[in-house]
Structure 1
Amino acid sequence: MRALTPAEVLFDGETPPALLPVCDHYAGSEKLMLKSLALQAELGPVFDVTLDCEDGAAVGHEAEHAELVASLIGGEHDRFGRVGIRIHDFAHPHWRDDVRLVLRAAKRAPAYVTLPKIRSVADAAEMCAFIEATRREFGIEKPVPTQLLIETHGALADVFRLASLPTVEALSFGLMDFVSAHGGAIPDAGMRSPGQFDHPLVRRAKLEIAAACHAYGRVPSHNVTTEIRDMSVVAADAARARDEFGYTRMWSIHPAQVPVIVAAFAPRDEAIANAAAILLQAQAAQWGPTRHGDTLHDRASYRYYWSVLRRARATGRPLPPDAATLFGPVSKEMP
């Protein structure tokens, strides 16, 4: 009889929480898009590439830019199917055209569509519904996931309802716009470290977003670090986002940031080995309570250690050879 895997027994028939690559790298120009895709081909699908139809498009040339983005999705440079797009916001007249142009012209659907400057649940729901209707119109088999940018007062006030929308897979914090929306009440130090982690209003926003995501099995994605020279700043920001605020993903705006963010969110070797040992012992005990060293474990702690191994796989970390049985004969755990 085949040993049952954690995914089969630890979630009472429910889908395990969403798992996405831990870094979301943004690129707006053709040069930077191609450079980002080349880096992804080199490092593997440990990070996503988001092709930006919003800030990347020159005014009056939105259609041409969307067509460029579409030409790169599913093409020779998109090796892993982990390329998403950001479209214009709900108030912009071109957001529907972004969706139609990309879904019609791309060789395959984008991995996700990011919706910026969400102001209300109604706006987000309408955008999600339009994406769903468009993919059906063009014969795309599966729903296209959406990721919402939380950067307005309205979005933060409704963040739990936004996280509950059916096609949403992640919420991202838009730090710069959020601070600016306070009209100077938050000093500009709140847009960089350490202020972004210490100002009470910014802390509250980060925590609300993370809590909403974890309540609905979505992925909380942390904002960018604007430092592009000193990678120790990026690493420290990623560590604080991970350890203090519960984020499992982070934006990148420079190629040098990508490996730093991936490394920061990857479990350490000792944590991986410990998690594998505990879960293999639990699997041998048919997932009943066990004792590892001087600590008792049951399904609650098994779920935690399973998340460690899932994150290890998603970040390209090696697993102990005998841990393969925990993922089953045909694993769908990798994003």
Structure 2
Amino acid sequence: MPDLTPAEVLFDGEPQPAVLPPCDHYAGSEKLIRKSLALQAQLGPVFDITLDCEDGAQFGHEAEHAELVASFVGGEDDRFGRVGVRIHDFDHRGWRDDVRIILRHAKKAPAFVMLPKIRSVADAAEMVAFIEASRREFGIERAIPCHLLVETHGALANAFELAALPGVESLSFGLMDFVSAHNGAIPDTAMRSPGQFDHPLVRRAKLEIAAACHAHGKVPSHNVSTEVRDMSVVADDAARARNEFGYTRMWSIHPEQIAPIVAAFSPRADEIALAADILLAAQRAHWGPTRHGDTLHDRASYRYYWSVLRRAHATGQTMPDECAPLFASSSRQDT
């Protein structure tokens, strides 16, 4: 019988925690959408593109913009199937129209749908249910994951319940609206670095969202960096989000931000090599305890090192050829 893979033995039959490309890049206008798709074709599926029906649409022309967005989803320039959409919020009259226009006209389903300004679990559940019912109505075979934007007091208070909703794949933090919702009680310095990592209320919000996601196997996505000139600031923001706050994904609002974000969330070559060595030894030991150097390992540490390799795969990192058996299909044929 073939050696069992980490996916088959380390999660006790439960689904593996979600892993997504580490950067979510937003584009609203036709010009920016085309540029983003060209960059994705060049760099590969190491970042997602979210086509924006909320901030990208002119008032009164929401339907026309949704049709424009739909024309790119699944089109010839959507080479990797990693193009999602952001629709209008629950209180906007056009959010249902956004969903129906995009699912009706797109050549294939979007990779995900971002739901902004979530205020309650009930609102989020209704939107997720409508998207599910619509995709069934239009004969779309696979379920469409939903991403929720947490930027209100109500959403933050219910972060764990939101992360637990079926059909939800990720929670994002909306820093600007969150700070504004405090009516001046949080200074504007908390909308940018380093203040966004230092103010206690903002730190609490970031940590609550990350904790909720990890508790339910969902992806925590960090807010944008407003810096568009000095990419070292963006790189530092991404590194702090990853290393101090437990985020595994981050928004981008400028093409130059994509590379430093992807780099910050990518495992280093030495981390990849160590993870491969430990997991290959574990596989040879049929996933019993092993020793690497002077350190003992068991299934708890194996799960950690498997997450390193999965992140390496999601960020397009080179992995040792010997890793192939670890990623072998879990679908086994009787022999």
- Match of 2:85? 85
CA-atom RMSD in angstroms = 0.8
C-alpha deviation, 1:286, in angstroms: 0.3
2:8–2:330 CA contact under 8 A, matched in 1: no
Matches within 5 A, 1:215-254: 215-254=215-254
Q: Matched residues in 1 for 2:158 and 2:323: separation?
A: 41
Per the alignment, in what secondary structure is the counterpart of residue 172 of structure 1? Answer: strand
Q: Matched residues in 2 for 1:36 and 1:160: separation?
A: 33
- Match of 1:60? 60
What code does the residue aligned with 1:28 have?
G
Per the alignment, in what secondary structure is the counterpart of residue 48 of structure 1? Answer: strand
Q: Matched residues in 2 for 1:318 and 1:3: separation?
A: 23
Residue 123, structure 1, aligned to residue 123, structure 2 = yes
Q: Matched residues in 2 for 1:249 and 1:117: separation?
A: 19
Q: Matched residues in 1 for 2:244 and 2:254: separation?
A: 24
Per the alignment, in what secondary structure is the counterpart of residue 143 of structure 1? Answer: coil
Q: Matched residues in 2 for 1:73 and 1:223: separation?
A: 24
- Match of 1:204? 204
C-alpha deviation, 1:330, in angstroms: 7.6
Structure 2's unaligned 5+ residue stretches are none
2:118–2:124 CA contact under 8 A, matched in 1: yes
Q: Matched residues in 2 for 1:90 and 1:329: separation?
A: 40
What code does the residue aligned with 2:96 have?
R
C-alpha deviation, 1:143, in angstroms: 1.2
Per the alignment, in what secondary structure is the counterpart of residue 172 of structure 2? Answer: strand
Matches within 5 A, 1:180-195: 180-195=180-195
Structure 1's unaligned 5+ residue stretches are none
Q: Matched residues in 2 for 1:264 and 1:300: separation?
A: 25
Q: Matched residues in 2 for 1:240 and 1:5: separation?
A: 32
TM-score (norm 1): 0.98
TM-score (norm 2): 0.98
2:6–2:306 CA contact under 8 A, matched in 1: yes
2:5–2:330 CA contact under 8 A, matched in 1: no
Q: Matched residues in 2 for 1:330 and 1:222: separation?
A: 32
CA deviations 1:1-34 (Å, max 9, x no partner) are 2111100000011111001100000001000001
CA deviations 1:37-70 (Å, max 9, x no partner) are 1100111111000000000000000000000000
Q: Matched residues in 1 for 2:7 and 2:233: separation?
A: 36
- Match of 1:46? 46
Q: Runs ≥4 in structure 1, deviation > 2 angstroms?
A: none
Size of the aligned set, in residue pairs, is: 331
C-alpha deviation, 1:329, in angstroms: 4.7
What code does the residue aligned with 1:261 have?
I
- Match of 1:274? 274
Per the alignment, in what secondary structure is the counterpart of residue 279 of structure 1? Answer: helix
